[in-house]
Amino acid sequence: MAEPVRFQVVNPATGQPGRTYEGISGDEALAIARKARVRFETWRRTSFAERAEHMRAAAAVLRRRADEFAELMTEEMGKTLADGRAEVEKCAVGCDHFAEHAKRFLADQPVDMGGPKAKVVYRPLGTILAVMPWNFPFWQAFRFAAPTIMAGNTAVLKHASNVPGSALAIEEVFREAGFPDDVFRTVLVPSRDVKALIEDPAIAAVSLTGSVPAGKAVAAQAGAVLKKCVLELGGSDAYVVLDDVDVAKAAKVAAAARMVNAGQSCIAGKRFIVLASVREAFEQAMAAEMQGYAMGDPRAEGTKLGPLQAVKARDDVHDQVVRAVAAGARLLTGGEIPDRPGAWYPPTVLTDVAPGNPAFDEEVFGPVAAIVEAQDEAEAIRLANTSEFGLGSGVLTGDAARGERIASDGLEAGMSFVNTNVRSDARLPFGGVKHSGYGRELAAFGIHEFVNIKSVLVATETLAHSGPE
């Protein structure tokens, strides 16, 4: 196995190096995974009440240390402090939710077989490996861990290389909450060591949130050893803007959808499919709304747009914008790299975007909105679905029933929201279709992903000994 590497944090707001963290070797990571598998044998036998007590304690730790954890996210990947505090609270809410509902989600389900006693039971699988991204460093991990651990599994986290402090802090939360040793562990290793972890018998299944190439690699590795995986991958979320909408209100929702986490979200709105009769008005309103997200110090209260997570990521976004304009898109606002250190990029709006344009075909992971014209509702739905992705989607309309119909039956996505921006919520299943992955996180559907859904049947005829022969 490869030797340990060091993980160097770089402050995205300044470009200056921050803290350095010592990684562990691949062999040490395997040893941790095996310890988690040993712990599974006792953790699986704990009651839901005991698990819930620890999970609620984890929520309390998160709330008590929210400012500290928000500062850590700002330092490592540029999230504003306000967004960081909100993210920590969301994690706490998720912990409380699964502490309260896991027992009901996993209750035995009787099946009427017309005679024999039959039921479906849900039993944990073992140790689950989570490979997680940097953009929501705490929430991505907790939305996996809370249901997985409440189901009786143990968990190993391999986090993104630019958020090592967050990765270690998450393990601290579980330790401070009183969970037994090795129920949740973090391994600071590079991506090259993931394959060996997946292949090791200690790991029962894998959950990955990340890029399409990463998802394909993990799916291939897990499939080669016949292990289940859940994949939440990229998105190029389309919002259909209908001709019956209040344009100013629609632009406000659309800008909020595009600018979540500085645009660095798989479920951020990216393509806005606008009916021709309201396109010009929407362009003006959208540009004005986006300009309201002024770049500022992520540590300052009131800042709406901090830096992107790294200079290279910013440069990749700018390259997509340049190629989009070269392919025929028209720039309404933004689109220029600021003359300052750090990974800054302004709110940007492109219009005259169509299939074949990079802003239409590719996932743009930054504060760039693409406006696409459609002649009618049917064409808008077709354009929205003209994508390899299918994670989130939206409908903005003055007619809620019309929006519900399109969201339910028209849009090819794992999530479709009407008149509000797509977001994750512990009460709703989260995931996508097509190249956005498969499987679900959160809600009852998410907790069922990493359990053995087991049929049990007891025949009416007993085989009891009838007595002396």
Measured distance CA(238)–CA(46) in Å, rounded: 44
* Residue 95 is a catalytic residue: no
- The catalytically annotated residue of 75, 266, 283, 377 is 266
Closest CA to 341 of 8, 17, 9: 17
Identify whether the C-beta of residue 199 lies closer than 8 Å to the C-beta of residue 225. Answer: yes
Nearest 10 degrees: CA dihedral of 245, 246, 248, 254?
-30
What dihedral angle (degrees, nearest 10) is formed by the CA atoms of 408, 414, 418, 421?
Answer: 180
- Beta-bridge partner residues of 430: 441
Distances from the Cα of 219 to the Cα of 224, 355, 425, angstroms: 8, 28, 25
Q: Which helix (H) or strand (E) holds 155?
A: strand 154-158
Q: Looking at 296-405, which runs of residues are DSSP E strands?
A: 330-333, 348-351, 368-374, 389-390, 392-396
- The rounded radius of gyration (Å) of the Cα atoms in the chain is 24
Do 248 and 225 form a contact (C-beta atoms < 8 A)? no
User: Rounded to 5 degrees, what angle do the CA atoms 162, 166, 170 make?
Assistant: 145
Q: Which of 87, 232, 283, 289 is catalytic?
A: 232
Q: Which two structure tokens, joined as six digits, stand for 457?
A: 């049947």
Cβ atoms 422, 269 nearer than 8 A: yes
* Segments of 76-202 assigned E as strands: 109-112, 117-124, 127-131, 154-158, 184-186
Task: Read off the tokens for 111.
Answer: 């099946």
Q: Tokens at residue 130, please? A: 């989570």
Residue 87 annotated to the active site: no
Cα atoms in the Cβ-side hemisphere of radius 13 Å centred on 58: 35
Burial 126-142 (b: 16+ CB within 10 A, else e): bbbbbbbbbbbbbbbbb
User: Among all residues, which ones are annotated catalytic?
Assistant: 232, 266
